[in-house]
Every structure is written in C-alpha cells, then in structure tokens.
C-alpha cells in the first residue's frame, strides 16, 4: 500500500526537499504552496513524479484552509508535515527592528502569529480526520529552536513568540489525540541554508531533511509531544 504525505509550504527550501525525498522513497505527496504562480522547482519535480499533487494553501486565510480540506475530502494522510511558516518582513536586516522591543510593529506580530501559530493549528485541525483514517497516523510540525524559552535568547519577538506558542499548542494537540493513537511530534530542522535562513545557516537542506526523515520513520506514541532537533537532540522548552 502506498503511503501519503501532505507537506505544507513545499515550493522551496525544506518543504521542497521533503517532497523530493519522500517522492524518491515511493510515497504519494500532496505539496502545498501559498502562490501557485511561484512554484519554483516544484513544477519540475511534478514532471518527474506523477504521484505529486500540488495544491494551493494559504495558512493565513481561513477560507483557503477550508477549501483545501474540502478538496482533499476523505483522502487518508499518513504523514502531515506542517512546514509552512513566515519570519516576517524581509530583508531581515532592514526590518528586524519591527520585531524588537521598543519598536515592535504589532501588525507584523499579528501577521506572523496568524500564519505560524493559528494557521498551523487550523490546518492540523482541518486534516485530523484524514490523518486518523491512515495507517501511519503521524503529524509532524516543524518549529524552531528560536521558540525555546530555555535555549534561545533571540530578540525577534514576533517570530520567536509565534514558535513558542506553536510548541505549546502542539503539546496540547498531542495529549488530545493520544487516545486516537495519532503521534504528534515537534521538530526543529536546524539553522538551514535556505531563503528562510536569511542568508546564514550552518546545515545543508539535504542533511536536515535526511535527519528529519530518519526521526519521523522511528516515531512511536512515546514520542508524541516531544521537541527534538533534526539530529535527534532533545530541545529544552
């Protein structure tokens, strides 16, 4: 039986590489992008893999999330990977003051929370029955070590608080879904060299995704609600 992964934010970076590696492993993949006119390399990947389905999804738009769930219908999803997210206005250097205490732009904060926290929880809630109908029953949310209160002092209030709130929300989801035997894991991909990496990064995207897939392949109910880095390290909350 072919397994199905649904990967949000799959048109570039980590999401694109996750799609590529799962397709190469023989999975069916549902890959989402906020803008279907900016699919980048995802279009080329679709030409190579007929088992790749591309869907529009904007986590910051309730109607978009609802429409996406309606299009999927009763499609079982073995693995939901919540990858989509935003940092806030880019370029980073020119806009970071909007996330620092004293000059916080509260609309920026609201926008980042709407996507990273509310949007991710919204799509998870919308697709939970699809996950429950599958054989694997896995939900993996890609967060960030920047959201760790005990392990990060980064001053970007909007981004870091959105990830901290997301982590807390997903631990509640994990407890709520435990009786349904759905594993809900939170993972940090590391500081990856991608567009989201803001020009930095010390981990190649292929290495990060390989590590994430290794962790995902070994998930059990005992791992539900845990927060780990792509290399398996436990991250303090």
Digit-coded pLDDT (tens) for 11-63 = 999 999 999 999 999 999 999 999 999 897 999 999 999 999 999 999 999 99
Q: Is 177 in contact with 128 (CB distance < 8 Å)?
A: yes
Q: What is the pLDDT of the chain when averaged over all its residues?
A: 94
Q: What is the mean pLDDT of residues 105-134?
A: 98
Task: Specify the pLDDT at position 237.
Answer: 86
From the list 76, 71, 83, the residue with the least C-alpha distance to 19 is 83
Task: Specify the pLDDT at position 195.
Answer: 56
Domain for residue 183, yes or no?
A: yes
Long-range own/partner contacts, residues 91-100 (CB < 8 A, 24 or more apart): 92/198, 92/199, 96/156, 98/158, 99/155, 99/156, 99/157, 99/158, 99/159, 100/155, 100/156, 100/157
Evaluate if residue 187 carries a pLDDT over 80.
yes
Looking at the chain, the whole-number percentage of residues with pLDDT higher than 70 is 97
- Give the CA count within 13 Å in the CB-facing half-sphere of 181: 5
Domain for residue 12, yes or no?
A: yes
Domain for residue 31, yes or no?
A: yes
Evaluate if residue 64 carries a pLDDT over 60.
yes
Domain for residue 236, yes or no?
A: no
Looking at the chain, the whole-number percentage of residues with pLDDT higher than 90 is 86
On whether the pTM is more than 0.85, the answer is: yes
Q: What is the tally of structural domains in the chain? A: 1
Q: What is the mean pLDDT of residues 141-157?
A: 89
Task: Specify the pLDDT at position 149.
Answer: 87
Higher pLDDT, 79 or 39: 79
Domain for residue 105, yes or no?
A: yes
Domain for residue 132, yes or no?
A: yes
Task: Specify the pLDDT at position 121.
Answer: 98
Task: Specify the pLDDT at position 194.
Answer: 65
Domain for residue 44, yes or no?
A: yes
Q: What is the mean pLDDT of residues 75-88?
A: 97
Domain containing 170: what range? Answer: 4-229
Per residue in 153-169, is it b (16+ CB within 10 Å) or e — as a string? eeebbbbbbbbbbbbeb
Domain for residue 63, yes or no?
A: yes
Q: Is 221 in contact with 182 (CB distance < 8 Å)?
A: no
CATH number at residue 67: 3.40.50.720
């Amino acid at each position: 039986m072919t397994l199905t992964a649904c990967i949000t934010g799959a048109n570039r970076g980590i999401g694109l590489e996750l799609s590529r590696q799962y397709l190469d492993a023989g999975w069916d993949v549902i890959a989402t992008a906020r803008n279907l006119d900016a699919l980048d390399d995802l279009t080329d990947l679709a030409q190579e893999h007929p088992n790749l389905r591309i869907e529009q999804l904007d986590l910051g738009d309730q109607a978009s999330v609802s429409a996406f769930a309606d299009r999927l219908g009763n499609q079982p999803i073995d693995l939901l990977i919540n990858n989509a997210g935003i940092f806030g206005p880019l370029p980073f250097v020119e806009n970071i003051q909007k996330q620092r205490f004293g000059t916080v732009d509260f609309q920026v904060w609201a926008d980042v929370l709407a996507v990273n926290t509310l949007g991710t929880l919204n799509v998870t809630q919308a697709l939970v029955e699809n996950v429950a109908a599958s054989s694997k029953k896995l939900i993996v949310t890609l967060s960030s070590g920047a959201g760790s209160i005990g392990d990060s002092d980064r001053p970007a209030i909007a981004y870091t608080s959105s990830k901290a709130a997301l982590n807390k929300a997903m631990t509640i989801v994990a407890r709520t879904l435990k009786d349904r035997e759905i594993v809900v894991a939170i993972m940090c991909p590391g500081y990856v060299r991608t567009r989201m990496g803001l020009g930095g990064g010390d981990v190649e995207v292929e290495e990060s995704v390989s590590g994430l897939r290794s962790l995902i392949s070994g998930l059990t109910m005992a791992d539900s609600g845990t927060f780990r880095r792509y290399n398996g390290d436990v991250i303090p909350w």
